Every structure is written in structure tokens, then in C-alpha cells.
Structure 1
Amino acid sequence: MTTSQAATRTAGLRDRAEAVIPGGVSSNVRLLAPRVFFERGAGPRLWDVEGNDYVDYLLGQGPAFLGHAHPQVTEAVARAVRSGMVYGAQHALEVEAAERFIAAVRWPDLVRFGVSGTESVQGALRLARAATGRRRLLRFAGHYHGWIDNVLMDFGAEGGRPGTLGQPADALADWLVAPFNDTDALAEVFSAHGEEIAAVIVEPMMCNQGAIVAEPDFLEALRALTTAHGTVLIFDEVITGFRLALGGAAEHYGVTPDLAVYGKALAGGWPVSALAGREELMGRFGTGEVNHSGTFNASVMAAAAVVATLEVLTEDPPYERVAEHGTRLRAGLAGLGDKHQVPLRIQGLPAAFHVSFGGPRSVGGSAPVRDLSGLRELDLVRYAEFSRLLAEHGVWVAGRGIWYVSAAHGDAELSDALERVDAALTADTGTA
């Protein structure tokens, strides 16, 4: 295929998509992304329909923690579905998936599988309300817990403003919103409303916005306050689960929640979520007093993908390799920022970090960002535009700044990525 033929194919796919799919995309998260059509992925790389390769640090918004099309996972799913897909009943792989999950994460007593993190969050909130008899909920500014009306919030607002047209104005009426990493503000909320709050839900590392790590005393204070007030503590580990450690953020930080929601890295790229927690909470599903349903929950494909993924993560743990690659990548990016004399900022952990440009109020572009208000001080618009330039140079990343490292990234990807980022910064700054 010639270059012109390939470009024509991309343009044709774009026109066809826009004719039958709203905005040409199936998720609004992709509306502002470069309109690239991919043909395949393998390990840490993607190839588009024009034959261009990309070093992938987006990983499908996080799920491809093992890399794309991991052979052990894809073969396990293919083998399992030859016997069936959805039974409307239980099957042996479901039990094995649950056993492996509990053995890996260690702190929960019970687990239920779902399809998306958004729906499993709903199950967690429902359980908390059922257990406490309370209605109010607490969350943190800038944290994301799904796109459903009762959780979607405008990231541009500190409070609980709806995030979209069509969302009822009162859909968020039960929420209290506090700044992340602020133990004093947290204590004030509990002093005023502690006996009303059914649950606190938190990204233990604020990954969706800024890759902001929890400060040492914040999660411990949150655990102590929720325990003291009989409030259910929910960790939203959709991103951090199985990524920061085999036991997720709970293991990484040494703080145990009452309930936690998992997804993304759980099933090697397959759409699987999990809600896990203490028996006295999760057991309410088993008695039938609290409803949790779903035709595709723990399907054959889902269970096979979970079993195979957890086999890989436990038999050949990739966490040291991921940390080493992420550390070298972060150092290389920082060096390129210095080389091109741009205020490139890198924050987070080696497995998941945020890249941005410093803003005029960000203390030389290097002050740690600890909450949503600090994130707003950065030049996020410039980085979003730069991410499009990175795509043109063969580095696939999110426009909002998050970079994910997979178990499949190696020396070749590190070298290629840094060379391509260097070229993109040269084009961006006009330096030779």
C-alpha cells in the first residue's frame, strides 16, 4: 500500500465512522484524541491502518497492563469460549477466578465480578447505604468514579456540579466534596456530617487527574475517621488495582478499605470489573437483601481472562521491571525537558505518572501537585496539544497527561519513545 493509499484509507474510515457513530467515536473520552485508526496491537506497541507503529503508553486507557494481546490471556479465553460463553448459571472458571483474586489481593473476604468499573462502583455505594442506613456520601475534588448521573461531576468545579447536559441537577445532591490530601478539611467534614455519611469513596492515588499520590498521613486519617464514625471506606482501584502492586493501592499504602472496586489491569485487557470487600458487607448480596445483577457478570470470557492474568502476575511478577522502566522513562523525559528548556513536569509513580507543562503559578514548574487546585495551575492545554504532536511522532499517550507503563515495555520501547519525544519537542520548540 502506498502512502497516499494509506492516508486515503484513514480519511475514508473517518468519514464512515462519522456517518454512523456520534462524533465518530464510541466514548466521549476519545473525542479530543487524534483520529487514528488502529489495525493491531502487540505487547507495548500499536500499528495503525497506514502501517505506522506507536510506542503505547496509553494502554487502552490502562487495561493492557500485560501489553496488547498477551498470548497466555488470549489463548486462555479462546480455549474457554469453545465450550460456551454465558450460561445464566455458575461455572467452574468463575470459582477459580474468585479464588485467585482473593489469594492475590489478600485482604477481602468475598468478591463479585462485573463488566465495568462504573457499575461496580454503583454496587459499592448501594452496599454502603444498605449497611449504614445513611444516604450521604463523601468524595474528593477531581476524582472520577464513572459516567452515571449520580457520580459524574464537572472536573472544573470544586463542588458537585453536574458533568453533562441531560444530568438532573439534583442527581449529585447526596454528595459532599472535599479537597484531596487535606486532612484538616477531612476532619472538618466529619465533624459536621460524620453521622450522616454512608461511605467515602476515594482513588487512593488520583490517577485520572494528575497521577497525584496520597500523602503519607491522608489515607491513614481517612481510615481512622471512617472507622470512628461507622462509615464505609471504598477504594476506587479501577486504575491502581494490580498496577501499583499485586494487592493494588491497599498493599502499596498499607491501608485496608472496607470495599474496593477493580478493573483495567485485572483481566489483561478484557472488560471485567470486580467489587470486593468484607464479608459483613459483601454477604448482603448473597442473602438477596441487596441487589447486584448482570447478565454478563463472570462470563466465561471474563473468568478465563482473570484466571490467566492473575497466573501471569503471580507466577512472573512484573512489578520490579515496570518500576525500573518507568523510572528510566521519567528520568529520560525530564532530561529532554532540560535539553529543550521547556518546563516539562513529571509526577506520580513509575507505573503511572503524569506529564505536563508548568504554569505561571507552579513555582518554576516543579512544585508537587497535591490536589485538583494545584493541577489547575499547570498549563494542561499546552500539554494536550503536545500529545497530538507526540502521536504524529509515534508515541501514543493520553491528552490529559497520564502515562501508563506495562509489563511488556522494554529497552527498545524506551529508546524509541525518548527519541520520538525528542523529535516532537524539537518540532514544538523549533530547536535544532
Structure 2
Amino acid sequence: MIRTEQSHAKYELARKYLAGGVASSLRASMKPVPIYVQSAEGARIRDVDGNEYIDYMLAYGPLILGHAHDELTTAIHQAMRKGYTYGLQHEGEIGLARLLTELLPCAEKVALSGSGTEAVMLALRLARAYTGKRKIVRFHGHYHGWSDSIFTSFPGAGLQGNDERAATSVLPGTSGQSAGSLEDVILLPWNDPIALESALRAYSGEIAALISEPVMCNSGCILPKPGYMELMQRLTKELGIVWILDEVITGFRLSIGGAHQRFGLDPDLVTIGKAMGGGIAISAVAGKATIMNLIDEGTVSHLGTLNGNCVSTAAAIATIGELVKDHGSAYTRMERLFTVLASGIRELLNKHGLPGLINQTGPVFHMMFTDEQEVTDFAAFNNRDGAKYTRFAEVMLSEGVLIRPNGLWYISTVHDDKDVQETLHAVDRSLAKLVD
């Protein structure tokens, strides 16, 4: 059993001064209390009560090299000694942009920004300016940041299948959004080729962009059905719609060239962030020069005080440098370890007689308690027992393993076989407690 007295005390103190008690609303969902960190290194994190955890949350995705990575820390420190940000140009901007155009198959030009939300905002703006159209197609269960123009109710399972209301009934993701902020959004079920083609053809004269995650990571780590993304690619090109792949999660996590390299896709634009900076805030939009040139021409304004600052670009260059070593062998290693871990958890679910499954895509997987034999769409994902998984995450914390309460697990380049075996023992004990 872990101690949480200090985290409880700090959380109560934070609530007096910090709105919501946490810096990002999602973090308040941790049970029994939002944990306060003392330090972290490698694959381990230590809290203020003296507990140590194997970390599979990894700051919600960015820490692909783990905590306090030596080479990354050195690169950041060296950059900071020359100044934190200039509001002027520097070599790091050129170096990172060139690197991204060399590594990302679809990238002819790049624009740097600070967060995934900002990158999506810019990509949508570029698409509208390029096409002269307004509407945006997005999908149930996908997350594209929290800006008013794209943040819909999440998970929002209300509309599924080939439902005519999907094109018109779009609920905001939070109170306070402008009543008109989502008027241009067409919300569709994902992995439904009939609904996709029907909507794109019906509204093609109004649709500026289709935005999609290549893998539905936050909602079940669901892969596209065979041929689905290829259909998306063909239809958008045929109908003059800008195809945006949101790779804020999958970029530099599924492969060095992202999911679009791994799956052989050719989007018009991609958004990237999270793993690219190794834990330092940075994001980018990359894509076809014909679209990106709208920034060159001044047709589309791209603003941001800290865009491409020397610390964030140094972090991204160092992170990517680590990932490309030995021809990207880190990806093979991460995928092998996660395959062992996922297989072991499946065996333990059977051992304890608990219905559940794991959807794995390379070095990321989603674990859920469900009676479904497979989860390949958002409707099936919403049949999971979310409350049981939240309880499982709380028990795992007491067993020394930090995981997200929603079921999504990440792995880093510094996790090892010992971490995996310790984790499987913790899963075994935790599932036994759930059965009891």
C-alpha cells in the first residue's frame, strides 16, 4: 500500500490558488488523488510521499526517451546557456525544419508551433485558405486539441453508424464554447467507409478539410480497417479536400516517419507534437509546399511568441537524434517489449477470469475491460467497463505502476525487460484484487 498524505496535502493547498487544483483538467481524474512528483529518471517516477512507480503514462505521451534523459538534458542545457528565446531567427529553426522534411514522407515545408492544439488550428486555417471552403470533417472518438473550432463532446458516443444526424448534430466539448464555434464541423463515425463516402460526396463543395488520427489512440487504440485510410486518401484527392492526419500522438512514436510512413499514406498535411520534443513543448505542421506556401505569401498568418524557440528546437533535434540511432532500432525494441507486456496481460486476464482485451499498435496499446470479442469502432469501445478500469489503475498505482485511468499505455526507449516483468507481477496482483 502506498502513502499519499503529502500528495493529498499538496492537492488541497493547490486548490486554494490553482483553478481545479491541477494545471490541466484531465489530471484531476487520478485516483485516489492527483500524485505530486518529487523527481523522475529513466522509466521511474518518485512522488513526494516516497513512492516509486514504473511509468507508462509518460506525461500523456511526450516522454519517448523517458525521464531526464542524459543526451536530451545536455542539449537543452547547452541551448539555454545561449539564451532561452530570442524573438529572432536562429540555426535551430532551420536545422529542425530541414530534419522534418527529410524524415516525414509528406513534408515539403514545415511550420513550428508550441502545442498540438496550435498545430491543428494552423492546419485547419491553411486548409480553409487553400480551398476557399469552410467545413471540416472530423470523427467520433478522435481528439484534436481543445480549441473552440474543433473540440467536440468527448467521448460523445451519441451518434454512430450511418446516421443522418451525424452531419448536423455536434455537441461542444465544454461549457463556455461559442455557440457558433462548431457550425462548420461535420462529425462522422470512424472506420465506416459508407458514411465517409456519403458525407464527402454530399458536402464536397463545402468541405475544406478532413482531419483524422491515423490510429484512434485515445479511444481504444483502434487501427483503421483495411482500405479505409486509402479510401480517405482517394476521396479527398478526387474531391479537392485537404487531408490532414493528426499525428500529434503517433508522430515519432509509431515510426521515425510517423504513422503515415508506417502505413504508406500520403496526406496533404500532418500535425506533430508530443514525442517530437521528448517532454519539451513543441509542435509542427508539415506538408505539401503548395499549401504551406500560403504562409510564405502572407495569405495565412502564423503567429506565436515562442514558436521555434532555441530550447524547444534543440530538444526536438536531440530527441530525433536519439530515435534515429542504429537505423531506428529503438522502435523495434519498444515494440518487442510492449508485445511481451500485452501478451502477458492477456494471459493474466484469462487466468483471473476477467473479460478484457488489448489493442496494440507498435509501442502503444489500449487495455480495456469488455465483453466484446474485438473493438474495431467507437461504438464497441464505448461498451467497455470504464469504471472497472479506473479502479484497476488505482490498484496498479498502489502496486507501483503508473498508468492512465483511460486505458492508454505508452512505453519509452529506456523501459527494459525487468520493468516489464515487474509490471506483469503488479498486474497479476491487481487483477486478483479486482476479482476479490
TM over 0.5: yes
Matched residue, 2:175: 165
Shift of 1:340: 0.8
Shift of 1:7: 4.7
Q: Out of 42-51 and 227-236, give the one that drifted further.
A: 42-51
Matched residue, 1:32: 29
Structure 1 position 204 matched with structure 2 position 214 = yes
Structure 1 position 319 matched with structure 2 position 331 = yes
Rounded Cα–Cα distance in structure 1 between residues aligned with 2:206 and 2:8: 54
Rounded Cα–Cα distance in structure 2 between residues aligned with 1:259 and 1:350: 23
Matching residue's letter, 2:16: A
Summarize the Cα distance change of 1:384–1:8 in structure 2 as closer, same or farther, 3 Å threshold.
closer
Matched residue, 2:392: 386
Matching residue's letter, 2:249: I
Matching residue's letter, 2:365: F
Q: Out of 97-106 and 194-203, give the one that drifted further.
A: 97-106
Question: 1:212 aligns to what SS in structure 2?
Answer: coil
Structure 1 position 57 matched with structure 2 position 39 = no
Matched residue, 2:431: 425
Structure 1 position 370 matched with structure 2 position 376 = yes
Shift of 1:8: 4.1
Matching residue's letter, 1:10: S
> Does the CA contact (< 8 Å) of 2:140 and 2:187 recur in 1?
yes
Matched residue, 2:251: 241
Question: 1:306 aligns to what SS in structure 2?
Answer: helix
Rounded Cα–Cα distance in structure 2 between residues aligned with 1:415 and 1:16: 37
Rounded Cα–Cα distance in structure 2 between residues aligned with 1:20 and 1:104: 44
Q: Out of 289-298 and 421-430, give the one that drifted further.
A: 421-430
> Does the CA contact (< 8 Å) of 2:105 and 2:261 recur in 1?
no
Per-residue CA shift, 1:381-404, capped at 9, x if unaligned? 211221111111111111111011
Matched residue, 1:415: 421
Matching residue's letter, 2:298: G
Shift of 1:140: 0.8
Per-residue CA shift, 1:238-273, capped at 9, x if unaligned? 000011111001011111100000011101111110
> Does the CA contact (< 8 Å) of 2:201 and 2:239 recur in 1?
no
Aligned length: 421
Structure 1 position 114 matched with structure 2 position 113 = yes
Shift of 1:103: 1.5
Rounded Cα–Cα distance in structure 2 between residues aligned with 1:185 and 1:15: 48
> Does the CA contact (< 8 Å) of 1:104 and 1:310 recur in 2?
no
Q: Which aligned pairs between 1:338-357 and structure 2 lie closer than 5 A?
A: 338-357=350-369
**Unpaired runs of 5+ in structure 2?**
160-168
Q: Out of 295-304 and 347-356, give the one that drifted further.
A: 347-356
Shift of 1:120: 0.7
Shift of 1:68: 1.1
Question: 1:213 aligns to what SS in structure 2?
Answer: coil
Matched residue, 1:231: 241
TM-score under structure 1 normalisation? 0.95
Rounded Cα–Cα distance in structure 1 between residues aligned with 2:209 and 2:264: 20
**Unpaired runs of 5+ in structure 1?**
none
Rounded Cα–Cα distance in structure 2 between residues aligned with 1:202 and 1:24: 32
Question: 1:282 aligns to what SS in structure 2?
Answer: helix
Percentage identity across paired residues of the two chains: 38
Rounded Cα–Cα distance in structure 2 between residues aligned with 1:133 and 1:124: 14
Shift of 1:172: 0.7
Structure 1 position 263 matched with structure 2 position 273 = yes
RMSD between superposed Cα atoms in Å: 1.4
**Which of 16, 19, 25 in structure 2 is aligned with 1:22?**
19
Q: Which aligned pairs between 1:72-221 and structure 2 lie closer than 5 A?
A: 72-154=71-153, 155-156=155-156, 157-158=158-159, 159-221=169-231
Q: Out of 337-346 and 222-231, give the one that drifted further.
A: 337-346
Matched residue, 2:70: 71
> Does the CA contact (< 8 Å) of 1:98 and 1:111 recur in 2?
yes
Matched residue, 2:166: none
Question: 1:31 aligns to what SS in structure 2?
Answer: helix
Q: Which aligned pairs between 1:399-414 and structure 2 lie closer than 5 A?
A: 399-414=405-420
Shift of 1:101: 1.6
> Does the CA contact (< 8 Å) of 1:346 and 1:354 recur in 2?
yes
Shift of 1:23: 2.3
Shift of 1:321: 0.2
Shift of 1:350: 3.3
